[in-house]
C-alpha cells in the first residue's frame, strides 16, 4: 500500500518514532449488506480504511478511501465510533498510534472492485452472515455503525 507523501516526509524527520495519525473506517451499507475487502498487505478481510490527509475533513477521507479502494461512491451518514487503536509497529520498525473514526455510510453508486491495489477482492456481505474478520475490532466497528440509535460511541472520558 502506498504510504501518503506527508507521512514519508515526517518519517524523514522522526525516523521510526511513534507517529500519531487519524484514520477512518467506512462502513458502507447497501440493501442490508456491508462492503468488505481482502487487504493486499496482510490478507485480512476488513471494511474500507485509510488515513486522513492534512487539512482533509475525516468524513471526506472516508468517502475518498471508499472510491479509491473499492470504486464505490458513498454518502457519509454519521460518525459511529471514536477510538484509539493499540500502537502499530510495522515490520520495518515504523510505529504509529492511530485515532480511528468509524463512519456509517450509504451506497450511492458503483460496483465494488479492487480499484487501486490496496484490496485483492471487494464485495457485499450480508450483515447477518459476515465472514471471519481476522482483525480483532473490525466486527465492533460494523456493529456500532449498524446501531439504530445513531449516537457516536467513544472511549475514555473518565
Question: Using one digit for the tens of pLDDT, what is the confidence trace for 123-155?
Answer: 999 999 999 999 889 999 999 999 987 788 888
Return d(Cα 93, Cα 54) in angstroms, integer: 23
Return d(Cα 10, Cα 17) in angstroms, integer: 10
pTM of the shown model: 0.94
Q: From 23, 39, 158, select the one nearest 85 (Cα to Cα).
A: 23
Q: From 98, 100, 103, 80, select the one nearest 88 (Cα to Cα).
A: 98
Largest CA distance in the chain: 46
Q: Is the pLDDT of residue 43 over 90?
A: yes
Amino acid at each position: 500500500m502506498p504510504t501518503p507523501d506527508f507521512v514519508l516526509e515526517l518519517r524523514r524527520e522522526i525516523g521510526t518514532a511513534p507517529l500519531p495519525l487519524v484514520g477512518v473506517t467506512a462502513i458502507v451499507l447497501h440493501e442490508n449488506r456491508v462492503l468488505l475487502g481482502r487487504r493486499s498487505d496482510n490478507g485480512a478481510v476488513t471494511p474500507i480504511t485509510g488515513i486522513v490527509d492534512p487539512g482533509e475533513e475525516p468524513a471526506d477521507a472516508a468517502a475518498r478511501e471508499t472510491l479509491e479502494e473499492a470504486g464505490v461512491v458513498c454518502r457519509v451518514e454519521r460518525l459511529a465510533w471514536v477510538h484509539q487503536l493499540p500502537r502499530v509497529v510495522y515490520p520495518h520498525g515504523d510505529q504509529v498510534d492511530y485515532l480511528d473514526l468509524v463512519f456509517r455510510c450509504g451506497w450511492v453508486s458503483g460496483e465494488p472492485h479492487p480499484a487501486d491495489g490496496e484490496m485483492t477482492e471487494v464485495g457485499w456481505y450480508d450483515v447477518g452472515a459476515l465472514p471471519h474478520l481476522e482483525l480483532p475490532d473490525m466486527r465492533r466497528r460494523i456493529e456500532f455503525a449498524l446501531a439504530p440509535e445513531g449516537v457516536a460511541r467513544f472511549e475514555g472520558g473518565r
